[in-house]
Amino acid sequence: MGIWFQTVEAAKRMRKLLIFVALLYLGSYLAGWYLISIKSQVALDLAQLVSGAVMTESPFTTILQSLSAGDLLRAVLITFLLNLTSGAFLTTTLPGIVPLVGAFGTIAVTLVRGFAIGVTYPEILASSAVGFALGFGTMILELGAYVFSGAAGIHIALAPIMPKRYGTASRWVAFKMAWKDAARVYVIVVILLALGALWEMTGILLVLR
């Protein structure tokens, strides 16, 4: 209970950033969705590029091979670790190590990711009831995790610039406190990404069968 309480308190301190990152995802997703709906060539090319990468490049091919062999656990584990490391920490949280500038890196990744999902997911969502459930569930769980990891990254990047938010005049102390908050909200990130990987891989396995 103590860990969860600290996680909730850390999330409360980031609530404005959480809303901000969520709105960035929503706006960029809708932009991608709109462009793909009017058959913009840029959106169509990006959708084809993303789909091609999923089908032909590692580690996605390894995941698909695991599912084809019926090895759900391996597929879930690879997906979870990939999303946690590359999807969350390295691209949306770690940039925060650079004061202020790192926040713009996280924002850029958020906008690009939201746009890419906006041009690729509408086709999945419209394919069938199963496709909708699979795509929507995956999108909510994984993007939910990235909202928290992105907010954590921006939170870290702003801490040395505005240390008084932490009740201290020391930029270094504020920076360390921001990292502690980030570690706490990663409890939520881990849970959401684990559920997302399980949902997505189970759904794809059922479709393949």
Secondary structure, 3-state, the chain: CHHHHHHHHHHHHCHHHHHHHHHHHHHHHHHHHHHHHCCCHHHHHHHHHHHHHHHHCCCHHHHHHHHHCCCHHHHHHHHHHHHHHHHHHHHHHHHHHCCCHHHHHHHHHHHHHHHHHHHHHHHHHHHCHHHHHHHHHHHHHHHHHHHHHHHHHHHHHHCCCCHHHHCCCCHHHHHHHHHHHHHHHHHHHHHHHHHHHHHHHHHHHHHHC
On average, the pLDDT of the chain sits at 92
Question: How many separate domains does the chain show?
Answer: 1
Specify the pLDDT at position 131.
86
Specify the pLDDT at position 56.
79
Instruction: Give 167 or 30, the one with higher predicted confidence.
Output: 30
Specify the pLDDT at position 19.
98
Kindly report the pTM of this predicted structure. 0.94
Range of the domain at 13: 2-208
What would the mean pLDDT of 184-207 be, rounded to a whole number?
Answer: 94
Chain segment 116-136, per-residue pLDDT in tens? 999 999 888 888 888 899 999
Specify the pLDDT at position 1.
56
